[in-house]
Amino acid sequence: MLKRISAITTASAAATALAVGLSPAPSSATTATTWTVSPGGSVTVSGAAELKDTKLKTRTPCKSVKLDAALKSGSGLAGAGVGSIMSGAFTGCTLGGALILSANMVVNGLPWRVNATTYASGVTTGTITGIDLVATVTGCTATLDGTAAGADNGVIRFTYTNSTGKLRLLPEGGNLHWWAVAGCLGLVGTGDPVQPSDSLTVKPEQTITSP
């Protein structure tokens, strides 16, 4: 009986050691509780961006994106709502990559909320929430949102790097979809997941750290 218990104990210990050995290494990024932002205040975020319909594999590039935002300033700041996007303009967009569908993107759901979540080595990861964009072209409309057209709950993940002043849109972890698609030559579809990409420039450059 003692031999059987010893065998079970040994096997259990070996299994535990194996599980520990196979566990992924902890990330160097930490979930932060407080943040420091300098200088904060009014900022512009600009550049080019692209939206990929992951179901149809079509892309909607926008030559120019400009967002006017406000960041809180100081230390001991909460990450949730550390900033707000007050207005935005998306120009030179071609829906589904079709030059004949040069879309006017109407920005809704403002202000969008900027949230900081994790920090590591000068890089902040966070989310932009409340996104609602409506693309309109002659004979074609499509809404970019989270769970439904007009829900104003679209989410994009991003990283911001202090050393470069760049805000990178991350393709994974958001919830953007095309909704209420009418016309549009089948280049985007209602309910299709959408991934953003590209880097935007933040002016003036910010230094965001935690703690």
- Supply φ then ψ for residue 74, to 5 degrees: 115, -165
pTM here is: 0.84
Cβ neighbors of 24 (< 8 A, separation 6 or more) are none
Total number of domains constituting the chain: 1
Per-residue pLDDT of the chain (211 residues; tens, 9 = 90+): 333 334 333 344 433 333 333 333 334 566 768 999 999 999 999 999 999 999 999 999 999 999 999 999 999 999 999 999 999 999 999 998 886 678 889 999 999 999 999 999 999 999 999 999 999 988 899 999 999 999 999 999 999 999 999 999 999 999 999 999 999 999 999 999 999 999 999 999 999 999 8
**Spatial separation of the C-alpha atoms in residues 1 and 162, rounded to whole Å:** 63
Domain that holds residue 126: 30-209
Residue 10 lies in a domain: no
3-state secondary structure 185-205: HHCCCCCCEEEEECEEEEECC
- Supply φ then ψ for residue 30, to 5 degrees: -120, 145
Residue 123 lies in a domain: yes
Identify the DSSP state of 24.
P
Residue 7 lies in a domain: no
- Among candidates 95, 66, 54, 98, which has minimal Cα distance to 182? 95
Residue 8 lies in a domain: no
Residue 89 lies in a domain: yes
